[in-house]
């Protein structure tokens, strides 16, 4: 019995490793973003990314409730949403961190009062498919759900830095990289 157990364990471990290594690659700039069913609103209801298809662009603000840099950028993103609302740009606050539950996210959003939807990315599926590695990150999709930008809001705040004024407004006027 023992000689069959070891090969079975090796096969099982090898299969799980193969599945982990076969994870889909993030969408490249210009690529189409697949519909995500991992999003949950603050009531726990599923929200598909493509539910927001009637807009010229979608800005996904990946944020963490406990991230100090995310908290510094939140008011700026709220101000940008007000500026671009009339231009049919939909903003979404997306919380991908697994340890943050809907109650914590709801409290965090309530304190910041965004006029745009707040969503939980269950299992970080959307973040992974878009290549989001940390918060805060912003992603811009065009009306056809093609990825147009992935990166920072600007260069003002960082882990160990805070400038009085941004030197680059990457979200508003991204360079062609």
Question: What pLDDT score does 174 carry?
Answer: 59
Question: What pLDDT score does 162 carry?
Answer: 77
Q: What's the CATH code of the domain at 51?
A: 3.40.30.10
Residue range of the domain that includes 83: 26-162
In a domain, 9, yes or no: no
Strand partners, 142: 57
In a domain, 12, yes or no: no
Q: Can you give the pLDDT of all 177 residues of the chain as single tens digits?
A: 444 444 444 444 454 444 445 567 899 999 999 888 889 999 999 999 999 999 999 999 999 999 999 999 999 999 999 999 999 999 999 999 999 999 999 999 999 999 999 999 999 999 999 999 999 999 999 999 999 999 999 888 877 777 667 766 768 775 544
For residue 142, which phi and psi values (nearest 5 degrees)? -85, 180
In a domain, 177, yes or no: no
In a domain, 145, yes or no: yes
In a domain, 1, yes or no: no
Number of separate domains in the chain? 1
C-alpha distances (whole Å) from 82 to each of 16, 40, 41, 165 are 46, 23, 21, 20
């Amino acid at each position: 019995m023992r000689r069959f157990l070891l090969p079975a364990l090796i096969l099982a471990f090898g299969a799980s490793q193969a599945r982990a290594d076969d994870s889909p690659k993030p969408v490249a700039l210009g690529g189409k973003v697949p519909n995500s069913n991992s999003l949950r609103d603050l009531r726990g209801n599923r929200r598909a990314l493509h539910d927001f298809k009637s807009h010229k662009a979608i800005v996904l603000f990946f944020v963490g409730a406990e991230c100090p840099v995310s908290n510094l950028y939140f008011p700026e993103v709220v101000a940008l949403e007000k500026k671009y609302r009339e231009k049919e740009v939909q903003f979404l606050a997306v919380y991908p961190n697994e340890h943050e539950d809907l109650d914590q996210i709801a409290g965090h959003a309530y304190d910041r009062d965004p006029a745009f939807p707040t969503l939980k990315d269950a299992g970080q599926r959307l973040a992974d498919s878009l290549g989001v590695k940390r918060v805060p990150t912003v992603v811009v999709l065009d009306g056809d759900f093609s990825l147009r930008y992935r990166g920072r809001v600007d260069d003002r705040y960082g882990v160990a830095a805070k400038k009085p004024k941004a030197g680059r407004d990457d979200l508003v006027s991204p360079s062609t990289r």
